[in-house]
Structure formats: C-alpha cells, structure tokens
Amino acid sequence: MTHDSNCIFCKIVSGDIPAAVVYEDDRCLAFADLGQATKGHTLLIPKDHQENIYELEEDTAAYLFKMAPRIANAIKTEFEPEGMNLINNNGKAASQSVFHYHLHFIPRYGTNDGFQPSFEDNSAQYTSEDLQLIAKNINKHL
C-alpha cells in the first residue's frame, strides 16, 4: 500500500492522526469531516495514496463506489436529510485542498442549511451542435 508521509489523510489511515471513523476495511476509510459543511458530512477515501480522479485506479474507484451507497444510506438513516450532495474536487482550480482522493457526502437539510454549491447555468452558451462536438471530442480519448 502506497502512502505519502506528508499527506494528512495517509496519516489518518496510519493512525498517526485521530479521526471519527464511520467505516473502515482493508481498502477504504470513511470518517466525519472535521469541517462539517452540514451535520453528518463524511469523507470516503482509499487507504492507498492516490492523489485525484486522474490517478485513481479503476478497481479502487469501483470499490469506493460500491461502498458509497452503504455510506450514504447510513447517513440518511441516522440524520434523515432531504437530500445529499456527493462531491469530489480534483486539482487546486477545483478547490481540492487535500491531495489524496476523497469523496464528500454532504447531507442536505433544505435550501437554508448553510451549504451552497453553485453551478452556473451555461446552457445558453452551447448549441446542440456544440454539445455533440464536445461529446465526440471527449469520447475519442476513452
């Protein structure tokens, strides 16, 4: 298992830094985010150090997303949120602050719960033809 001695999440995995553990097995760790965006905000990480979605191994991704519904449903059962955001930031430009892949589970308790993700509506900027070209250009790299 690869670890980065400078990574705070690797230090949590190794037990050098304590965490409020929600779930743990030999491949992943889920724990309460220290900076609770809303009550129940939980992070899910691979125990192996993989920096972001671009480095994330496919089998690791498959395992994390296999566990994601279990984590989400546990949060839902305990706190009964109205909804939940699953968020992953990749790179500084996307507000990634810890460079170890992590998935945020942010329970939502209505529009005034203090968490405000923002997605601008850019639909007027792109025609149907633009979208087809964008899709084609991405697809050629798969």
Q: Are 28 and 47 in contact (CB under 8 A)?
A: yes
Which residue of the set 3, 49, 102, 104 is catalytic?
102
> At residue 114, what is the residue type?
G
Question: Does the annotation mark 3 as catalytic?
Answer: no
Phi and psi at residue 104, to the nearest 5°: -90, 135
Residues with catalytic roles? 102
